[in-house]
């Protein structure tokens, strides 16, 4: 099945940001029929190692994909070797940083095998009004995102990770080809003051803007009933794709 034609449930990515493996196992058991992908981030990968991916694949029984969010960022040769090792684990999606240009992307893609490579454009927690040493024309998130997206896609990456606020422009500029993954998703019922994500959108807004997959963590993980929360998100996705 084309990843662009996934069912509403399959579009939901849940990050396994938990303090220990037993907590992870519990979340997977509860949610493996409610989400499309489980995301393994740095915290879990560092604490549990590559076994996290292998054990997660066994726990899901094929009901959900594995998204390895390592944001690989180094010289192209190092990233290529790391991606070759990652591909052997069987992860479906892996992230690399787009900020170091097309050489890094090309090396990752060459070594990725069947694993899809996603380039992270601009972190959704980043406020570009801070002085990052950028040329003035790239101090707006959209301008910087589009620059990095163009370079990454030209280098052969399969998709992009970007804010829902930039997803529509990327979809319009590059068509239906690239997979678009949007983090920083907050359902309207979960918005709180002091959130560390700066450029948030709702599930409906992200899907309507062209996102294929949306990443929803805390609103589900911290809910009294995570299954109910996940289903509410899926219902919102469903209304946006019908």
- CATH number, residue 8: 3.20.20.70
Residue with tokens 């700066």: 198
CA 157/CA 47 separation, integer angstroms: 28
Residue 186: predicted pLDDT: 84
Is 238 one of the annotated active-site residues of the chain? no
Domain that holds residue 227: 3-241
Helix (H, G, I), strand (E, B) or coil at 141: helix
pLDDT surpasses 50 at 1: no
The larger pLDDT score, comparing residue 17 to residue 126, is at 17
User: What total of structural domains would you count in the chain?
Assistant: 1
| Average pLDDT for 113-124 | 87
Residue 225: predicted pLDDT: 95
State how far the alpha carbon of 135 is from the alpha carbons of 138, 149, 207, 212, 222, in Å: 6, 17, 31, 31, 40
Say how many Å lie between the first and final Cα of the chain, rounded.
18
Predicted confidence band of residue 27 (pLDDT cuts 50, 70, 90): very high
Q: Report how far Cα 56 is from the mean position of its chain's Cα atoms.
A: 17
| Residues β-bridged to residue 179 | 159
Residue 221: predicted pLDDT: 92
SS (H, E, C) 11-43: HEEEECCCCCHHHHHHHHHHHCCCCCEEEECHH
CA 26/CA 128 separation, integer angstroms: 38
Helix (H, G, I), strand (E, B) or coil at 49: coil
pLDDT digits (tens, 9 = 90+) for 154-207: 999 999 998 888 899 999 999 999 999 999 888 877 655 455 444 568 998 999
Catalytic annotation, pick one of 71, 88, 116, 208: 71
* pTM score over 0.85: yes
Instruction: Locate 83 and state its tokens.
Output: 């991606």
Contacts of 132 (CB under 8 A, 6+ apart): 139
Q: Are 128 and 134 in contact (CB under 8 A)?
A: yes
């Amino acid at each position: 099945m084309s990843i662009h034609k996934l069912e509403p449930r399959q579009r939901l990515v849940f990050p396994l940001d938990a303090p220990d493996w037993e907590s992870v196992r519990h979340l997977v058991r509860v949610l493996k029929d409610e989400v499309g992908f489980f995301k393994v981030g740095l915290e879990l990968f560092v604490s549990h190692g590559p076994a996290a991916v292998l054990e997660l694949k066994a726990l899901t029984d094929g009901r959900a994909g594995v998204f390895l969010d390592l944001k690989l960022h180094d010289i192209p040769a190092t990233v290529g070797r790391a991606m070759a090792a990652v591909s052997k684990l069987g992860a479906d999606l892996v992230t690399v940083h787009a900020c170091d240009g097309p050489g890094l992307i090309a090396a990752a893609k060459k070594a990725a095998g069947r694993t899809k490579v996603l380039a992270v454009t601009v972190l959704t927690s980043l406020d570009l009004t801070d002085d990052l040493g950028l040329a003035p024309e790239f101090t707006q998130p959209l301008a910087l995102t589009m620059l990095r997206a163009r370079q990454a896609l030209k280098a052969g990456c399969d998709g992009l990770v970007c804010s829902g606020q930039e997803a529509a422009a990327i979809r319009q500029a590059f068509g239906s080809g690239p997979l678009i993954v949007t983090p920083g998703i907050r359902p309207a019922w979960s918005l709180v003051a002091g959130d560390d994500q700066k450029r948030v959108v709702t599930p409906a807004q992200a899907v309507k803007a062209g996102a294929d997959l949306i990443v929803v963590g805390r609103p589900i993980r911290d809910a009294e009933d995570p299954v109910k929360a996940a289903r509410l998100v899926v219902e919102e996705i469903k209304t946006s794709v019908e």
